[in-house]
Structure 1
Amino acid sequence: MPTDQIDIERYHQLALQKQKEHRLFLATLKRKAPKNLDKIVQEVHTEVFSEIDCTKCANCCRTLGPLFTEADITRIAKHFRMKLPVFEEAFLKTDEDGDKIFQSMPCPFLGEDNLCSIYDVRPKACREFPHTDRKKIYQINNLTLKNTLFCPAAYLFVEKLRERV
């Protein structure tokens, strides 16, 4: 592995080892969040993303397909100058929950350089991932915990948040 790449497997193993600790910590936040939690969350999020370069990882783009909203589909199809049904047939399928997702992973718009070829029009779920800058972060504890298994930044976010709170 090149030295400029993130060791995804190492972070995954660390996240697995700390699942119980992280679950308990996040549950504590839900029960008794400090008054300034949103401010701390923003600070920790900014700190983590000053250390982690997503383009050295892109694990989310390889393994976690986003959910597509109708607005996402319309925006991206327009970007490609494709009719909606043609775009959907080419790239999307409907999952068991009735949600529109990629037919297969990795993301078809992920380049070999780990850059997104549709970055400016990417789905809302991609723009918001890993959701570590949300207000009232304790409302998405299960999602945050799950994301630590796939995203080194989410793992570091929880670790640093534990230190700060």
Structure 2
Amino acid sequence: MSEVNMDNWQKKSADRAKLYKQWIARADKNKVLKQLPDLHEEAFEKVDCLECAACCKNYSPRFKTPDIKRISKHLRLRESEFIDKYLNLDTDGDYVVKSSPCAFLGADNYCSIYEVRPSDCYRFPYTDEDVLLKRPQITLKNASFCPAVYFVLEKLIQAK
């Protein structure tokens, strides 16, 4: 399998969005799921999240009830205080951060609540999960701003 050229990856990802969508629709799910753990590892040998942090700068995870309980306890706030200070309800009825970039993202791209971060943050960018195939809209959106998703999709397309 050839190397994935990461130069200008955002433009290449945008140019290939239609190809990605078609590929995901036709992918052999079992074959792909077996490949994901290794490709995920390989992607993060090439991509340093601390150099990018586009996810934290532009998007919000969902803050589910267990996340809210854990983070508010960590911050020594009542859950209602935490929600009032940091979160809004989105159109889907999910709690999300009030502003971008995320209030917990530092200037150095480190997360101040990393150890207790929301499960969506922990799992992002889903390149080692079936979400990659089961939720193509999410995968295509993530490929537009996350170099790891671009890398994994390119590797999967090469492997076919």
TM over 0.5: yes
Distance in 2, matches of 1:90 and 1:134, equals 32
- Please give the per-residue CA displacement for 1:14-57, whole angstroms capped at 9, x wherever unaligned: 2111111111111111xxx1643322111111111111111110
Per the alignment, residue 57 of structure 2 pairs with 62
Q: Name the aligned partner's letter for residue 114 of structure 2.
A: Y
Conservation of the 8 A alpha-carbon contact between 1:68 and 1:100? yes
Cα deviation for residue 113 of structure 1 reads: 0.8
- 1:12 corresponds to which of 1, 10, 14: 10
Per the alignment, residue 140 of structure 2 pairs with 145
2:152 is equivalent to residue 164 of structure 1: no
SS in 2 for 1:75: helix
Query: What's the C-alpha RMSD, in Å, of the aligned pairs?
Result: 1.7
Distance in 2, matches of 1:15 and 1:86, equals 40
Change in CA separation of 1:136 and 1:108 when aligned onto 2, cut-off 3 Å? closer
Per the alignment, residue 3 of structure 1 pairs with none
Per the alignment, residue 3 of structure 2 pairs with none
Q: Structure 1: any 5+ residue segments left out of the alignment?
A: 1-5
- 1:28 corresponds to which of 26, 30, 46: 26
Q: Name the aligned partner's letter for residue 91 of structure 1.
A: Y
2:50 is equivalent to residue 52 of structure 1: no
Conservation of the 8 A alpha-carbon contact between 1:40 and 1:164? no
Conservation of the 8 A alpha-carbon contact between 2:32 and 2:156? no
Percentage identity across paired residues of the two chains: 39
Conservation of the 8 A alpha-carbon contact between 2:29 and 2:133? no
Range 12-21 or range 71-80, more displaced: 12-21
Per the alignment, residue 130 of structure 1 pairs with 125
Q: Name the aligned partner's letter for residue 92 of structure 1.
A: L
Distance in 2, matches of 1:155 and 1:112, equals 25
TM-score relative to the length of structure 1: 0.88
Cα deviation for residue 98 of structure 1 reads: 1.3
Cα deviation for residue 135 of structure 1 reads: 3.5
Conservation of the 8 A alpha-carbon contact between 1:38 and 1:136? no
SS in 2 for 1:107: coil
Conservation of the 8 A alpha-carbon contact between 2:142 and 2:149? yes
TM-score relative to the length of structure 2: 0.90
Range 138-147 or range 60-69, more displaced: 138-147
How many residues align? The count is 155
Conservation of the 8 A alpha-carbon contact between 1:62 and 1:105? yes
Q: Name the aligned partner's letter for residue 143 of structure 2.
A: T
